[in-house]
Structure 1
Amino acid sequence: MKQFIDFIPLILFFIVFKLEPRDVELAGQVFSVGGIFSATAVLIISSVLVYGSLFVAHRRLEKSQWITLLGCLFFGGLTLAFHSETFLKWKAPVVNWLFALGFAGSHFIGKQPLIKRVMGHAVSLPEPIWVKLNIAWIVFFIVLGAANLFVAFTFHTIWVDFKVFGSLGLTLLFLIGQGVFLSRHMQDMPTPSNKE
């Protein structure tokens, strides 16, 4: 459920982007709907609403959610302020590279790799496997960021499609590969002993 909630702003962005541009009157005001700039405004507003609601409900956001929200506000705000989609095209690569940096930094800061902090409660693996898995996430986020950057500045007509469906597809493929990798290395989780 949480993963779906994180995709709501992106889905709304995609829908509004694909609309044929038109003017809509609402409460006596005329708004332009359709295209990159109204889609960016919807992305910002929906991100604030979604992550604001999550923050109110849980009294916290995960670091990845903060990074995503701040990326939307920063790059989306610049896109609207300067009326240039170039800023928004940089959002996905920069956010992915920040995630890669976080995973890489966990090798030097803290007692365990970031992926173990995230998944260690559910999966038991030998320590060298956690390190390999963390490195795989670093490489994945670097490659995903580079792919987003390449498509955004090379294929101008499909970059939004790739941002939504290409990134999601690559992420699903990576997760399936990770599942296959994990299935070969998982250990039985220790069970708590019952003292009666």
Structure 2
Amino acid sequence: MSPKLGRWVRLFVDYAGLVAFLVTIAITGSAIAASWAVVAGSLAALAAGLVLEKRLAPMPLVTALFGVIFGGATLVFHDERIIKMKLTILDGGIALFLLTGALRGKNPLKALMGEAFHLPDPVVRTLTLRYALLFAALAIGNEVVWRTQSTRVWALYKFPGTVVLIFLFALSQTPLILKHAEEEPGTGPKP
């Protein structure tokens, strides 16, 4: 597969479920119809990844699993509240995972980041607690939005709303990360 085609396949695999959801909800305004779309788009993305890339990409796999479980339950019970609660459960689960790990003396954020950042453990604990609070706030925000606003407004909160909020939060943590970033092995002192 050519590199250019590979990029398009990667984009399709990563975003087909989300795009199908957003387009359908924008056209129909129905979370039920969008649930059909997210299930179909997610399964198509997984199939494309498996056939064309010979692998199941982790993030689309998680997205597809959540999409199929919550989208399927929405369709079976014909209740759009189920798909709307997915974001609450996902964000709340992330917050609980981070908070539980931190309270047990672990650094779950460090495990997720891997070798991306080299930070002292106390700084990672601070970031872990901050991210736990962020995801708890996003879960609460989702509950408020889907219970008080139209499905279209909720869809905008879901995307791009939460993505923008997470990006801005991550950007706000940059000074802490830069202040405490450890030197790479074999590099000289920081200026």
1:191 maps onto 2:180 in alignment = no
Please tell me whether the aligned partners of residues 84 and 146 of structure 2 are also in contact (alpha carbons under 8 angstroms): yes
What is residue 134 of structure 2 aligned with on the other side?
140
Please tell me whether the aligned partners of residues 11 and 164 of structure 1 are also in contact (alpha carbons under 8 angstroms): no
State the shift of 1:118 in Å: 2.4
What is residue 24 of structure 2 aligned with on the other side?
16
State the shift of 1:38 in Å: 2.2
What is residue 164 of structure 1 aligned with on the other side?
159
Separation in structure 2 between the aligned mates of residue 61 and residue 108 of structure 1, nearest angstrom: 31
For CA contacts below 8 A with separation 6 or more, give which structure has more relative contact order: 2
Choose between structure 1 and 2: higher strand proportion.
1
Please tell me whether the aligned partners of residues 67 and 95 of structure 1 are also in contact (alpha carbons under 8 angstroms): no
Gaps in structure 2 of 5+ consecutive residues: 1-6
1:46 maps onto 2:79 in alignment = no
Identity of aligned residues (%): 26
1:68 maps onto 2:76 in alignment = no
> Residue 127 of structure 1 aligns to which amino acid in structure 2?
D
Residue from 114, 124, 127 that aligns with 1:130: 124
Please tell me whether the aligned partners of residues 37 and 79 of structure 1 are also in contact (alpha carbons under 8 angstroms): yes
Change (3 A) 1:136 1:17: same
Change (3 A) 1:10 1:117: same
Separation in structure 1 between the aligned mates of residue 44 and residue 158 of structure 2, nearest angstrom: 21
Separation in structure 2 between the aligned mates of residue 3 and residue 149 of structure 1, nearest angstrom: 30
Q: Which runs of 4+ in 1 moved over 4 A?
A: 1-5, 52-56, 58-61, 64-67
Q: Which deviates further from its counterpart, 90-99 or 179-188?
A: 179-188
How many positions carry a matched residue from both structures?
177
Please tell me whether the aligned partners of residues 144 and 167 of structure 1 are also in contact (alpha carbons under 8 angstroms): yes
Separation in structure 1 between the aligned mates of residue 130 and residue 46 of structure 2, nearest angstrom: 28
3-state DSSP class of the match of 2:79? coil
| Counterparts of residues 70-149 of structure 1 (less than 5 Å) | 70-107=65-102, 112-149=106-143
> Residue 139 of structure 1 aligns to which amino acid in structure 2?
L
Pairwise CA RMSD: 2.8
User: TM-score when scaled to structure 2?
Assistant: 0.78
Please tell me whether the aligned partners of residues 36 and 71 of structure 2 are also in contact (alpha carbons under 8 angstroms): yes
> Residue 74 of structure 1 aligns to which amino acid in structure 2?
I
> Residue 11 of structure 1 aligns to which amino acid in structure 2?
V
What is residue 155 of structure 1 aligned with on the other side?
149
> Residue 135 of structure 2 aligns to which amino acid in structure 1?
F
Separation in structure 2 between the aligned mates of residue 5 and residue 171 of structure 1, nearest angstrom: 22
State the shift of 1:15 in Å: 0.9
